[in-house]
Chain A
Amino acid sequence: MSVAQPPDRSLSGRIRAAWGIVALPLLSILLALIVGALVMILSAPIAGKPVDLGLPLTAYGALFQGSVGNFDAIIGTLRTTAPLLLAGLGIGLGFKAGLFNIGAQGQFLIGGIASIAFAQLVHDMDPLIAIPFALLGGILGGALWAFIPGVLKATRGAHEVVTTIMMNYIALSTLSYLASGPLKLPLSPQPVTAGVGNAALPILLGRDGHLGILIAFLVVPLVWFLLYRTTRGFEIRAVGANPDAARYAGMKPRRLIILTMSIAGGLAGLAGAGNILGVNHQMSASFSTTVGFDAITVALLGRSNPVGIVFASLLLGAMRAGAPLMQIEAGVPVELVDVVQAIILLFLVANAVLRRFFRLRGVSANLGTTETMTATYGSEAIR
Chain B
Amino acid sequence: MHIKRASVALIAALTIAACSGAAATPTPLPATPTPAPVVTPAPTPAPTATPVVTPAPTATPAATPTASPTPAASTAAPSPSASSTLKIGVVTDVGRVDDKNFNQFSFEGAKLGATDIGAAAPQVVVPNSADEYASDIQQYVSQSYDVIVTVGFNLYSATVAAALANPNIWFIGVDQSICVDATGKDDPTFACKGDPKTLLPHYIGISFEEDQAGYLAGIVAASISQSHIIGAIGGINLVPAVVRYIQGYQLGAMATDPTVSVKIGYVSKSDFTKAFADPAGGQTYATQFIQANKPDVLFQVAGSTGNGVLQAACTAGIDGIGVDVDQWGSLSAATDPTYGCIVTSAEKHLSNAVEASIQQISGGTAAGGNVEYNATNDGIGVSMEQDGKGLITPAIQTLLDTALAGMKAGSVTTCPTTCGQP
- 0/1 interface trace, chain A 274-297, chain B, CB 8 Å (1 if under): 010001111111111111110011
* Interchain CA distance A130-B96 in the complex, whole Å: 37
Contact between A334 and B189, CB atoms less than 8 A apart? no
Contact between A187 and B189, CB atoms less than 8 A apart? yes
User: For residue B8, which residues in chain A have a CB less than 8 angstroms away from its CB?
Assistant: 376
Interface residue A346 (Cβ < 8 Å from any Cβ of B): yes
Interface residue B256 (Cβ < 8 Å from any Cβ of A): no
Contact between B9 and A374, CB atoms less than 8 A apart? yes
User: For residue A375, which residues in chain B have a CB less than 8 angstroms away from its CB?
Assistant: 2, 5-6, 9
Contact between A39 and B21, CB atoms less than 8 A apart? no
* Interchain CA distance A284-B240 in the complex, whole Å: 13
Interface residue B270 (Cβ < 8 Å from any Cβ of A): yes
Which residue of the partner chain, among B123, B124, B127, B272, contacts A176 with CB atoms under 8 Å?
B272
Interface residue A323 (Cβ < 8 Å from any Cβ of B): yes
Interface residue A308 (Cβ < 8 Å from any Cβ of B): no
Interface residue B292 (Cβ < 8 Å from any Cβ of A): no
Contact between B13 and A296, CB atoms less than 8 A apart? yes
User: For residue A177, which residues in chain B have a CB less than 8 angstroms away from its CB?
Assistant: 270
Contact between A187 and B89, CB atoms less than 8 A apart? no
* Interchain CA distance A285-B138 in the complex, whole Å: 24
- Interface residues on chain A, number (Cβ under 8 Å): 80
Shortest C-beta distance, A332 to chain B (Å), equals 7
Query: Contacting chain A: which of B129-137, B246-254, B321-329, B396-404?
Result: B129-137
Query: Contacting chain B: which of A42-50, A136-144, A146-154, A255-263?
Result: A42-50
Shortest C-beta distance, B293 to chain A (Å), equals 25
- 0/1 interface trace, chain B 115-131, chain A, CB 8 Å (1 if under): 00000000111111111
Query: Contacting chain B: which of A5-13, A21-29, A190-198, A223-231?
Result: A190-198
User: For residue B134, which residues in chain A have a CB less than 8 angstroms away from its CB?
Assistant: 279
* Interchain CA distance A297-B142 in the complex, whole Å: 31
Interface residue B14 (Cβ < 8 Å from any Cβ of A): yes
User: For residue A32, which residues in chain B have a CB less than 8 angstroms away from its CB?
Assistant: none
User: For residue A161, which residues in chain B have a CB less than 8 angstroms away from its CB?
Assistant: 9, 12, 16
User: For residue A201, which residues in chain B have a CB less than 8 angstroms away from its CB?
Assistant: none
User: For residue A173, which residues in chain B have a CB less than 8 angstroms away from its CB?
Assistant: 270-271
Shortest C-beta distance, A180 to chain B (Å), equals 5
Interface residue A360 (Cβ < 8 Å from any Cβ of B): no
Contact between A49 and B32, CB atoms less than 8 A apart? yes
Contact between B270 and A336, CB atoms less than 8 A apart? no
User: For residue B17, which residues in chain A have a CB less than 8 angstroms away from its CB?
Assistant: 293, 296-297, 342, 345
Which residue of the partner chain, among B13, B239, B272, contacts A100 with CB atoms under 8 Å?
B13
Interface residue A200 (Cβ < 8 Å from any Cβ of B): no
Which residue of the partner chain, among B10, B21, B32, B420, contacts A342 with CB atoms under 8 Å?
B21
Contact between A335 and B13, CB atoms less than 8 A apart? no
Q: A284-B154, A293-B16, A374-B6 are in contact. Are A335 and B125 (CB under 8 A)?
A: no
- 0/1 interface trace, chain A 324-344, chain B, CB 8 Å (1 if under): 110110011111111100100
* Interchain CA distance A323-B127 in the complex, whole Å: 9
Interface residue B140 (Cβ < 8 Å from any Cβ of A): yes
User: For residue A303, which residues in chain B have a CB less than 8 angstroms away from its CB?
Assistant: none
Contact between B9 and A100, CB atoms less than 8 A apart? yes
Interface residue A165 (Cβ < 8 Å from any Cβ of B): yes
Contact between A337 and B273, CB atoms less than 8 A apart? no
User: For residue A328, which residues in chain B have a CB less than 8 angstroms away from its CB?
Assistant: 89, 123, 125, 139-140, 143
Contact between B270 and A374, CB atoms less than 8 A apart? no
Most buried by B among A46, A207, A338: A338
- Which residue of B is nearest A176, CB measured? B270
User: For residue B27, which residues in chain A have a CB less than 8 angstroms away from its CB?
Assistant: 335
- 0/1 interface trace, chain B 263-282, chain A, CB 8 Å (1 if under): 00000011111000000000
User: For residue A100, which residues in chain B have a CB less than 8 angstroms away from its CB?
Assistant: 9, 12-13
Interface residue A300 (Cβ < 8 Å from any Cβ of B): yes
Interface residue B20 (Cβ < 8 Å from any Cβ of A): yes
Interface residue A320 (Cβ < 8 Å from any Cβ of B): yes
Interface residue A54 (Cβ < 8 Å from any Cβ of B): no
User: For residue A285, which residues in chain B have a CB less than 8 angstroms away from its CB?
Assistant: 238, 270, 272
User: For residue B297, which residues in chain A have a CB less than 8 angstroms away from its CB?
Assistant: none
Contact between B21 and A176, CB atoms less than 8 A apart? no
User: For residue B128, which residues in chain A have a CB less than 8 angstroms away from its CB?
Assistant: 289-290, 320, 323, 334, 337
Contact between B32 and A180, CB atoms less than 8 A apart? no
User: For residue B29, which residues in chain A have a CB less than 8 angstroms away from its CB?
Assistant: 43, 335
Contact between A172 and B240, CB atoms less than 8 A apart? no
Which residue of the partner chain, among A190, A281, A293, A345, contacts B240 with CB atoms under 8 Å?
A190
Shortest C-beta distance, A159 to chain B (Å), equals 9
Contact between B420 and A172, CB atoms less than 8 A apart? no
Shortest C-beta distance, B43 to chain A (Å), equals 16
Interface residue B31 (Cβ < 8 Å from any Cβ of A): yes
- 0/1 interface trace, chain B 408-422, chain A, CB 8 Å (1 if under): 000000000000110
Most buried by A among B29, B31, B129, B421: B129
* Interchain CA distance A284-B95 in the complex, whole Å: 15
Which residue of the partner chain, among B123, B129, B131, B157, contacts A327 with CB atoms under 8 Å?
B123
Contact between A185 and B135, CB atoms less than 8 A apart? no
- Which residue of A is nearest B10, CB measured? A349
Which residue of the partner chain, among B13, B16, B89, B130, contacts A287 with CB atoms under 8 Å?
B130
* Interchain CA distance A186-B135 in the complex, whole Å: 27
4 additional contacts, CB 8 Å, given A290-B128, A374-B10? A43-B29, A195-B188, A320-B132, A349-B10
Q: Please name the 5 residue pairs, one residue from A and one from B, whose CB atoms are nearest each other, closest first.
A: A293-B20, A289-B129, A173-B270, A176-B270, A288-B94
User: Which residues does A use to contact B, with CB under 8 Å?
Assistant: 39-40, 43-44, 46-49, 66, 72, 76, 79-80, 83, 100, 102, 105, 161, 165, 169, 172-173, 176-177, 180, 185, 187-191, 194-195, 207-208, 275, 279-293, 296-297, 300, 320-321, 323-325, 327-328, 331-339, 342, 345-346, 349, 365, 374-378
Q: List 15 A-B contacts (CB under 8 A).
A: A43-B30, A102-B12, A169-B271, A189-B421, A289-B128, A289-B129, A289-B131, A290-B24, A290-B25, A293-B20, A296-B17, A321-B135, A331-B33, A335-B29, A338-B28
